[in-house]
Amino acid sequence: MPNVVAAGPLAGITVLDLSTVGPAARCTHLLAGYGASVVKVGPVPTAGAEPIVPPFFSYSGHRGMRRALFDLKDALGKEAFLALAAGSDVVVESFRPGVMGRLGLGYDAVSARNPGIVYCSTSGYGQDGPHAQWAGHDLDYLAVGGYLAMSGPGKHEVPPLPGATIADAAAGGMQAALAITAALAGRAATGRGSYLDVSVADGVLWLMSLAIDEQLALGGDVQPGHDVLSGRYACYATYGTKDGKAVAVGAIEAKFFANLCEALGCGDLASLQYDDGAQPRLRDALTEAFGRRTRDECVEALAGADTCVAPVLELGEVVADPQFSVRGVVGIATHPEHGEVRQLAPLLAGMPRPEGSVSLPDLGQSDTEHLLKEAGVDGETVARWVAQGVVA
C-alpha cells in the first residue's frame, strides 16, 4: 500500500519519477508534500549497475513514495513501464536531452498510450541549444545565470559558494513543480496533457530577473554593489558581533534605518542613508556599534524594534529556534532501518501536516508487482516479467 502522509490538493495524482537526486527529485518531493502519489522508478538490479542512492534522510526519506524497478533497455521492460505510465498523470525525468527518446520512452511514446500525460523533462540547459549536452550541477547553473557574479567576491576574490543548492531547489525543482501543477490545471479544462522542458539555467535567469531586466532595459554594466540589494549601501548588509557571530540588517526604508541608528546611538547619521559619499562612514559606525554587543544582545535590543535586524543562525540554532517551533516545521518519522528520526515536516503553504510520526519507505524494497497489477496488468504477465528479470 502507498506510504501516504495525508490527503492534500494533489491527492489522486500519480507521478512517475525517474530521477534519483537533483532538481527533479526536489520537484517530486514537493508534489508528494501536496499529496501526490509518487513512484520512484529505477533500474532492475544488474551486474555493474550503480544507481545513485542518496542518504536515508535526503528528500525527507522519500516520505509518501513507492518504488518500481524496470529494465528500460529491454522491450518487455519498456512495455511494463508504459503500462504503468498509461494510468499515471505525470512523468518526471532528468536524463540528458534525447536519452528517453532514444529509449523509445519519450513524450511521443508515452502520450500515445496516455494522451493526458504531463511529461516533464528537467535538465541543466534545456532540451535544445548549444549547451544542451553539457554536464553540470547546481553551481554551474548559478554561474551561467549570473547569480555567482552578482554575489560579489569572497575569499581569494572569487564568488563564494552558496550555502544552499539554490539552482536545484528553486530554479529547477520549484520551477518544475509549478509547471506541472499549471499543466494539470490546464488538463482539467482541456483533457489534454503536455510536454514541459524545464531548464534549470533558465530558472536561474528568473531568480535573477530584477538585475537582468535592469541590464536589458538600461544597458550599462550591472555589477555587485550597484544598488541597495547588492551591497551599495550600509543599510543592507551583514555585520559581525562581539562574540564572533553576525546579524543581518535589511533596513531599506528610511523609517527602519532611522530606528536602527537611534537604537545604536548614532541617530545623527540616519539622514545619510543613501548618500554615496557617506557610506564608508556609515559602515564604520555600524560595524563599531554592532561589534560592542553580542549577537543575541543585538537581537534582543533591535529585532522587535522595527529595525529589520535578524540573527545569522547556524543550522543547529535554526532547528531549535522558537519561531520555527511554534510553526511546527519539525516532525517525527520512523525509518525501517534507522528508527525514529526528526525531519522537516511538510511546511510549505497548503501542504497537509501529519499528526504524530509518519512511516518512511524501505528503499530496499520494490512495489513494482503491486503497482503493475494496480494499473490493470494481469498477474500472469507480471509474474512472467519478474521471472524474466525485466521488472523487479
For every residue of 117-172, DSSP letters joined together read -EEEEEESS-SSSTTTT----HHHHHHHTTHHHHT---GGGSPPPPSS-HIIIIII
Amino acid at 280: P
Find the catalytic residue in 74, 131, 137, 335.
137
Q: Which of 17, 112, 11, 129 is nearest to 67 (CA)?
A: 17
Residues 311-352: pLDDT tens digits?
A: 999 999 999 999 999 999 999 999 999 999 999 999 999 999
**Fold (topology level) of 14-206+363-388:** Rossmann fold (3.40.50)
Which cell is 124 given? 541543466
pLDDT score recorded for residue 46? 78
Predicted pLDDT at 155:
67
> Minimal CA–CA distance to 290: which of 272, 273, 275, 312?
312
Distance between CA 259 and CA 303 in Å, rounded? Answer: 11
Task: Mark whether 137 is an active-site residue.
Answer: yes
The Cα–Cα gap between 186 and 200 comes to 23
Question: Which member of 71, 138, 140, 168 is catalytic?
Answer: 168
294-to-89, 247, 283, 299 alpha-carbon distances in Å? 53, 10, 18, 9
Give the class (CATH, top level) of 228-240+246-311: alpha beta
Confidence class for position 48, pLDDT limits 50, 70, 90: low
**Percentage of the chain lying above the pLDDT 90 cut:** 89
pLDDT higher than threshold 70 for residue 270? yes
How large is the average pLDDT for residues 64-73? 94
% pLDDT > 70, the chain: 97
Higher pLDDT, 363 or 66: 66
Query: Grid coordinates standing for 334?
Result: 520512523
DSSP category for residue 389: T
Overall average pLDDT of the 183-200 stretch = 97
Q: Where are the domains of the chain?
A: 14-206+363-388, 228-240+246-311
CA atoms within 13 A on the CB side of 318: 8
Residue 32 has pLDDT above 70, yes or no: yes
Please give the average per-residue pLDDT across 244-251, as a whole number.
98
pLDDT bracket for residue 3 (50, 70, 90): very low
Concerning whether 243 is annotated as a catalytic residue, the answer is no
Cβ-contact 30, 60 below 8 angstroms? no
